[in-house]
Structure 1
């Protein structure tokens, strides 16, 4: 697969993780409907959550496999000497944005849980932002992104 196909896989994983985060936002609404004996929102939100997790992380697994295969075909002795993306911070502009958002959303969650423990919708929005930003932190600091950017 060429680099444009690999970039599409990366984009698919980003969009899928975004939809997982959006499904987190809708979980309180779906849960409220369950108490009204209306289960369809629960099934839709749950299905979206798990479906997009499978698509997002599945595309990342395929992308990682293709990157390694391409490096092997290029007869590159070793992969990029780089720590896993989850352990790196502020390595490029998108990573800086999501690293900062991760810290801000975590602080927001802590404050919301202390000051507004009954505001579940706000807490779920903050959890969704945190989930998305942590995943983007790992993606944009990771080996696949560096490989696709050609750095």
Structure 2
């Protein structure tokens, strides 16, 4: 495989990865729209706003996971053709790995803080307020980012081609 093809594969994996991140961000924003959709439904009786928010909730989530699956398939093909063929890359899945790089540290800390905030909100009887939706959006987005940034796909997006020399320093 030529050098240009390697760079193309990494760019394609990177592109799929970042589009998936955008889809998960859109999914998280849907939580913020839910109270307004419910108010519109209660005032007008129209189901249109709830249907729209439901689409904004489900479609980016499904598209994001489809893109992650496609990026992972491309990653496996890239690893098999370029590197030693070890698709596990000597690391665990992103779901069970914590604090593996700078973006992952941010996502993991945000997930921890958001989860603690949700527990506090629950025990302080503030579960019916808008802050609950904000925390749900933060926890949902940071949970998805935890899996992505600690995972093998992100590690592959950071791949740098080196020349064949004995000492890579």
Regarding TM over 0.5, the answer is yes
Structure 2 partner of 1:109: 118
Structure 1 partner of 2:35: 28
Larger Rg: 1 or 2? 2
Once the 2 structures are TM-superposed, how far is the Cα of residue 116 of structure 1 from its aligned partner? Answer: 3.7
For structure 1, the residue ranges without an aligned partner over 5 or more in a row are: none
Q: Determine whether 1:11 maps to 2:26.
A: no
Q: 1:73 aligns with which of 72, 81, 104?
A: 81
Structure 1 partner of 2:59: 51
Q: Which moved more, 1:103-112 or 1:3-12?
A: 3-12
Structure 1 partner of 2:71: 63
Distance 1:89 1:77 in 2: 25
- Secondary structure class of the residue paired with 1:2: helix
- Secondary structure class of the residue paired with 1:82: coil
Once the 2 structures are TM-superposed, how far is the Cα of residue 63 of structure 1 from its aligned partner? Answer: 0.2
Task: Quickly say closer, same or farther: Cα 1:118–1:143, change in 2 above 3 A.
Answer: closer
Once the 2 structures are TM-superposed, how far is the Cα of residue 74 of structure 1 from its aligned partner? Answer: 2.3
TM-score by length of 1: 0.93
Distance 1:118 1:57 in 2: 29
Q: Decide whether the 8 Å contact of 2:9 with 2:74 is kept in 1.
A: no
TM-score by length of 2: 0.84
Distance 1:75 1:84 in 2: 19
- Paired residues in the alignment total 151
Distance 2:148 2:9 in 1: 19
Q: Which has the higher helix share?
A: 1
Which 4+ stretches in 1 moved above 6 angstroms?
Answer: none
